[in-house]
Amino acid sequence: MKGSYENQTVIITGASSGVGEGVAQHFAANGANLVLVARNKEKLYQVRDILKQKTRVIAISMDVSNFDDCQNLVKNTLAEYSSIDILINNAGCHERGYVEENDPQNLGRMIDVNLKAPIVLSRLVLPHMTKSGCAIINVASLAGRVPVPGSAVYSASKFGLRAFTYALANELQTKAIKIATVSPGPIDTPFIMSDIDSVSDLTFSQKISTVDEVALTILRLCKNNKIEEAMPKISGFFTNMTYLFPKLGSILSPLLIKKGRNAKIKLKLKK
């Protein structure tokens, strides 16, 4: 895949760590021009300074839920590179806990970051995706395929992001713009690993993916003919089955929760 994104301009949100940073590293290795976006300026600039030894890269510290910031992002990208080829909507927000116990502002922010921001950014970049090989990849979640108690609003935001992806792909089927989503389960990043106790037991019933696995899947989605990639695949199969047959989910859920609880205990012992 080396060099396969030569001179393509790629915007990556949530690029200061985790999957966003991993995706940036792989695009840099493949010759892409990068626009790295995140709120954490210090970490973002650290990633920028490492990757600028490999490729052209700019870093923009901003809040993806702010409309003016999003407009300026597109404006600054075009000023620097004159084109936008790929958008990776990766920035995410998860405030865990039951709805009735959670801060209403936190619930609203999850929708703003996880759903509204990808919709707005997609709309803003679409007029500039005029060449072949353009793509928008949305980072959703297995929680967007089955509801997760304690993560109701997060699940809702990812359900919505998947629906947006499929609908947008349908709207743009006559244009040469690839629209797709990746729906991972747990990933070995601080996003879930830094506070294991707050994460649902159900989450840990699945194989934990690595950042590299998710990042490479995103790069492949930019060019293949798939509209969605669930990770791990077996979890994608089961989420499909439980969606089609809700009673199956009711039967499997207690077993999966028990499995996840045991896995969580083992992870905590390793720390």
With contact defined as beta carbons under 8 Å apart, do 115 and 144 qualify? no
Q: How far apart are CA 63 and CA 71, in angstroms?
A: 11
Amino acid identity, position 196: I
Using CA atoms of 232, 238, 240, 245 in order, give the dihedral in degrees to the nearest 10: -170
List, in sequence order, every residue forming a beta bridge with 140; answer none if it has no partner: none
Q: How far apart are CA 182 and CA 201, in angstroms?
A: 22
Q: How far apart are CA 89 and CA 31, in angstroms?
A: 20
List, in sequence order, every residue forming a beta bridge with 38; answer none if it has no partner: 61
Structure tokens given for 177: 């713009």
Polymer length of the chain: 271
In the annotation, is 154 catalytic? yes
Provide the 3-class DSSP secondary structure of residue 210: coil
**Catalytic-labelled residue, pool 81, 154, 166, 243:** 154
Where in the sequence numbering do the catalytic residues fall? 154
